Structure formats: structure tokens, C-alpha cells
A and B are shown apart, each in its own frame.
Chain A
Amino acid sequence: MADEKKKPWWYSTYDAFDTFLRVPGTVTAKGAHVRDGIDLKRVMIMVVIALVPAALFGMYNVGLQTSTLYGLGWGFWRMFFYGLLRMLPLFVVSYVVGLAIEFASSQIRGEEVNEGYLVTGFLIPLIVPVDVPLWMLALAVAFSVIFVKEVFGGTGMNIWNPALVARAFLFFSYPSSMSGSSVWVSKTWAGIPDVDAVSAATPLAIAHDGAFDAATGAVGQYSFMDMFWGFIPGSTGETSVVAILIGALILVWTGVASWKIMCSSIVGGLLVGWLGQVAGATALPCYYQLVMGGFLFGSVFMATDPVTAAQTETGKWIYGFLVGALAVVVRLWNPGYMEGMMLAILFMNTMAPLIDHCVVSVHTSRRAKKALNA
């Protein structure tokens, strides 16, 4: 920042790669003379690491679903590599488009490139149907990075979770590619002609239509354990509870994401799920809400984004609880759309500053009262 010379157009990109490879040699100029080893690169890479189990399992599951649905009889590695090859272009498009915009806007603002997109770029391919056309994905990424992040001032300033907005953009702009029962199992590159597409509804959709067998605990053809381990159709990252819990463990252990938000979101979801069961809105036991759809993935990886979540500790409890509760409310009392997590989180992102405002106001007035009594 010290040199006032105008930086060449490639400077941000160069600087981003340079500091990616080597820690900057900057020394402290004011304030504390020594600093903690932590930086945002490390924080963000922790989230990516936490996402890896879900991503790896998701790749395997992409192959598994295709192989099962079309009776292809693939082995384990064939399934995994099919999924890997299907996912790779999504990651490439997500990172190339997103980072290009990040680099350009950092250059315009004259700031260093922020690492926030490392996570966003990894999340987006995990929460969209695997066969989504790449140009749609590129458009969604561009929309979300520009209009949700950069116009507010970049990572740290955004109001909504950029990855979720990318998904919402696709959902509302191209509903036929994003919802229904024929988008969740990949057929591109599997040699399946378009006309032969078989519908494969997600358990959430099956349950929505009331196909729950209370005796066996199965939703359609999927048992509870299928859903728990993740052998079901859905977005790549969201299906396996086990993989997500491994990620959750990493996030909570490293302190990168708030366990308060995760826990309260699950409590909120369970509570509303239970109320729904009591009120007769659904036959599903409340804990089924956790293993179906994107509930757990959203609670662990999306709702906990420190920038868009509530920032006060009390606020985090309230925010998380409402995310979980609202998501299940949408699932149970909404005739058309069976997955509520995305909109519940985006809505609560909007409300988070209000929650914080209330929490901080209560705190300051309590402080003022204490002072009067002192």
C-alpha cells in the first residue's frame, strides 16, 4: 500500500499467486509487534478441507446413482471416476469464473485478493445438480460474485452467502435444470440418450408425496440407513450425513465455524419436525428431516459462514435455531417446493444484522442499567 505508483493491471493476480506460494515478508508497522500465525488463507483452506469428505463421497455417489438407475453394473472405481470426471468441469468453471472476477475487482479496489472465494468456489459445485449446463453455472457464479459480493465491497462485506445465491439464481432462472425428479442423477457421458431419462426422485420429494412406510421406516425405495450414509440422489455434497459430520468435526475443532449455529439449527429443525408430526403435517419422525435433502449440509457449511451469520454469540443461537426451524416449516407446509434450507438460510442472512442489533441493544441497555445502580 505504501507505494503510490499505479499498479499494472496484472498486479492483483500476480500478488495473489505470489502470496499463495510464499507468506508475505511484511513486518508489523503499528500495533502489536508480533502476530498470530493464522491468516484468512489458513481459515478458508480449513473449510475446504472440511468439505473434502463430502465432495469425495459425492463423486462416488454420482457414479453409484447413475449405475444403479440405468443398471450399468459399474465397479467402485468406475463409479468414483465417473463422478470425478463429471464434477471436475464444474469446479473448473466455478473457480475460473469466480476468481477472474475476484482478481479484477481486487485490482479495481486496489486491495489484495481475498481468500473467501476458495470456499465459495468449492461449495457451488457441491450444491447444484451434477448435470447442470456449464454456461448456466458460469452465469450463476458471475451473478453471485458480482452482485452479492463485489458490489458490497468483497468478502467480509457481503450480506448473503454467495454460494447459496448462485444456487438460488439457477433455481429461479432455470427451474427445469434445477428441480424436479429427473435432474439429480447424472446421465451425460454415461451413454444414456436424453429420451431415455428415468426419473429418480430424491427422498425428500418422495416423502413430500407421502410415500413413507412407517413399518420399515423407508422413504420410497430408500431406507433410513441409505439416507444416513448418503446412497440417495441429490446435490453432490449434501447426501452423506457421515461425510458432513466429519466436516463438521473439523470445523468445530478448528473453531472456524460456530458449533452454536450448527447445534441450534439442528434443534430448530427437530423441534419443527416434531411439531409437524404431532400436528399431522407429515408422517415422518422428526430426525428424518436431518438426513434428507440439504438440511445438514446447509447447517454445517452454509449457515455458519462467519460473514453472513449473526456475529454475537447469543445471536448465533437465535439465528441457527430459526434457520433450522424455517427450513423444516417450508418443507412441511409448502405445497410446491419441498426443500427449504436454501431459502431459510438466505432469509436468515438477511435477518442476521437485525438479530445482532437486538442482542447488542439489550446488552447496552443492561450495561446502562448496571451503571445507574452502581
Chain B
Amino acid sequence: MLVTINSVSLVIAGSGGAGVVTAGSLLLDAAAKAGWYALMSRSSGPQIRGGEAAAMLRFATEPVMSHDDSFHLLMAIDWDNITRFSAEIPLTAESLIVGDPAHGEAPAGLLKNNPRQAALAMSDIAAKIENGRPNMVALGAIAALIGLPPGAMQAVVEDNLKRKGQAAIDASMAAFHAGIAAAADLPAIPQLPAVAAATAPRWSITGNEATGLGAIRGGVRFVAAYPITPATEVLEWLAPSLAKVGGMLVQAEDELASINQIIGASYGGVPAMTATSGPGLSLMIESLGLAVAAEVPLVVVDVMRVGPSTGIATKSEQSDLNIAVYGLHGDAPHIVVAANSVSDCLFTTQWAVHLAEAMQVPALVLTDQAMGQARAIVPKPAELAFIGQRLTATAAVEGERYKRYAMTGSGVSPMAIPGTPGLTHTADGLEHNEFGTPSSQASDHLAQMDKRSRKLTQFTYGDHWADIEDSEVGAGDTAIITWGSSTGPAREALRRISATGGKARLISVRLIAPVQPEKMAAALQGINRVLVVEQSHSGQFHRMLRAFYDLPKDTHALHQGGPLAFGPGQILEQLNVWSA
């Protein structure tokens, strides 16, 4: 295992009721209290409630951008259905599996690479403590193994259980300390150093929460949506949060209603958004075209999951790129942006609101289950200047009839908001002339098409179109081009290249559409070799790059369908095989 950042990775797994996700969250919070950074992903079986679950955590003394290639520790509270996760829990000969002898032997499926094994009688130890729980015993052992100060857990348990009373806190901490004591007999795994009190301010946030916050920061005050995994948490966070800032969330009867309600709200002058996943986006597509034609700004977040059809609702894939970019009928210029990390969900969503409002166009934000449902301890995100600002028409001009779709240099025409005297008009999905009057004339169609397209081509997107990062000694002649969730492991691959004195450039594309050929050409100056990395079986991103950008002859693609994320090592390996 090549480790270039000081980190430790572990999985807590167990059946329903074992409290795996709770244990993971407590551990994450305690790590935060200890001054560490962390990333926690979760995986669960298909059961609605009570199914097996796994919490995957990585801790480090600096921000965590990706999971590692393998886990140091698998703490199994029991073995029920755990082999369903075995592909998601890569283990090596150095890994340690800790199981409870009361639940028998570790299943063979976990032992392929001969990991070390040890026993911890979690249920027996817990049984000796009044109201003791095996998951707290497990947490005690984990804390001892990775070097987490017990005081950090004490503070977190007190916060979490204060409503249940002192007895509950005492029982949990007794089980926790019993776990610490029992860990003395366990083999060692890497420990993280204690960190002096946190220096820079940090947040604990999920990608889905960050998406919701980005929307509110950008000015969204109306959300209509239909529940769908894995986007629901965006909505659950937004419902009470919008109410606090004078906005509202409406649960619609379906996704057709969601998208059309936000069109109505935005036409009424209130910045609006919905969040969904692939199946819901499919239903919204016709009305996204309406928003393009009628020039109604709005934001649609797609928290991608494995497709097609119902696919795997609880797991991640980067395979909605095609529908997001090409799904609309007719020529329908619109914005597609993609977040590339948990905290970037905030930036990218806020930027999307800004772009949508500024250009009076729908903007799609692509995130995915992996980042949406992951919780991370991150440096406090920067304040951003992006606030949705719509060019509005506020007063009638004497003797002139208002042209809602007036030809302008930028393509953006001042929009009259209902309630404004003298500027009444009809916004229309039918092709129209400058007044909005329906027209089937070729000249009107071509002029309006040019105008709608010009809005996007004339806009200044600045440096945000992509995150471009070089290894410490420069870019060299090799670039990794990626997007979305695959950026995390690619970033870490770049770190490892740096650590060995190698050179490479990372280009993580945030602005998927409209494409930016000139900026990409500049970013590829001096680059002779490109590795494209994406989590799509058919290589949707690679094909799009091929269609719109000049890539070096020596371009390879690393693409595979979900739900297994790339490890940094997999990306490095691809680069190494190639240079050999």
C-alpha cells in the first residue's frame, strides 16, 4: 500500500439494528473533535429498513479527497450478508478483520487476500454492561487502534445522547471504554497522530446538504420536488432551511409537476430549483426544453445513481452525462455543470444558480450518490460572490411595445416579472417572435435559435470551467482529464505522482456544457498524453471530449460502470502501464 498522506481507512459493517451508520457518524464527529479530517461513505443493502449496512471511513490530518485503495480495518459487528459488500471493501494482507466470535467465522469471501484476523467479543463485553451496546464496544476498540483520544468520543456521545439522559451516556461510555481495554489484545494498524486544537475552521457536511446550501446561497427560494433516492436528503435539508430564509419547498405529485412548478415560480420572479435522480430527470426532460424556449431560469440537480431504468438506486455512477447534455429534443442550449467533491457541491450549485439567472436558461447540476450521501470534515468553504441576478425590465418605454425576447448583443433580454405594469406578455414554448407571439416563420425560428445559443457562447465563465492542478514540479506532458466523483481518486493519484517526483496535470471539468474548446486547448498546451477517467460503462465523457476537443493522439480512456469507485492506485497503475 503506497501511502503518501497520513491516513487510516476502516469499515464498520453489520446487519440492521447493529447501529453501523450511527457508529460511523459518532466516529466521524469524534475525529472532527480530535482535529482530524474525514470522509465517510455509506453502503446499504436493498432493504428499506433493517438491512445490512457498511460505513466506510477514512481519517487524515489533512483534507480527505478520496477513499484509499484498500482498508486497514474491517470491524464487523456481525457477518450477516457482509459478502454483499466485499467488492466495496478491498482488503490486503496487511488489513485487519475484527469480528465477534459469537457470530462465528469470517466468511471466505472476505479472505481472498489473506487479511489478518482477530476476535473481539463485542456482544459478550456489551452484555456485562447495563444497556451496553456492541457497536459502542467496537467504537472503543477502533478508537484505541487508530489513536483517537477518548475525550473526543466522550464529548460527542454527550452531545448525541443528552436527550436520553445521563444513564444512557454512562452506558455508552462504559461500553466504549470496555472496547478500548479489549483492544489491547488486538494487532496494530496505522495510527494517526493527535492534532493540536483545530487551526482553521472546519465543517461537517454531506454533499447533498452542500448542494442545498449552495442553492440557498445562490438565491433559490422556491423548490418543488418528488422524493427519489439518492436525492431526497437535498430536499429534506432544504425544506426546513428554506422556511428559515423566507422560501418554501413543495412536495409535488411527480417529477413532471416538480419541474413545471419551478418553471411557474421562476416565471413569477422567484429563483427556483428541483433535485432528482436519473429516473426523475428523464421525466423532466420535455419541460427542460420548455424552460429553454420560454427562457425561464431554473436549476435541476441530478444526484446520479446506477442506471438505466431503476438500476441500483442506492449506488453511484457517472452515467447521466449523455441525457443531461443531449437529452432534450430540438436544438436546446442549456447549462450542464458537475460538482467534483462533497464541498464542491456547494460551489457548483451556487454557481449554477448564478449562471441560470444571468442567462435566463435552465442549468443542470450533476452530482452523484457517492458524493451526495458522503459526509466529510472539510475546511470551511469560502464565501462566494455568486448571487443569481436576473436582468429584468422594470418600466414600460413610452410608445414601445415590450419585447420579451428582444434581440440583444448578449442574447439576454430584459425579463418582465408579472406584476410589472405595461410589460404584460406571454412566455411561450411555441417558437415565437421578439414579442413572444407564436410564429412558424423560418426567420423568427433562426433568429431566436441564434439568440438562445448566443446567450451561452457570449458569457464569461472565467476559470471555473475546470479545476486544473499540477504536480509540485509542474505539469510535464501527461494530463488526467476527469469530472465529478472520479476527481477525488484522480487528485490523490496526482499527489502520489508528486510524492515520487513525477509530473502530471489534472483537469477536472466542471462546465460540461457549453463546451470550452479554447480553454481546453490552453490547458492541454505541452501535453502529449491524456488519460480520461470516468465511471461510465460506455465512456460517455470520453466520447464527448472526442467530439468537441482536440486531444493528443496518445489519449487513453479508463472507464467502467458503477458502483465501484476508482481507487487512486487504479489510476496510477493505468499511467504506469502506459509509460512502461
Q: Do A and B bind each other?
A: no
Point out residues on B near A: beta carbons under 8 Å. none
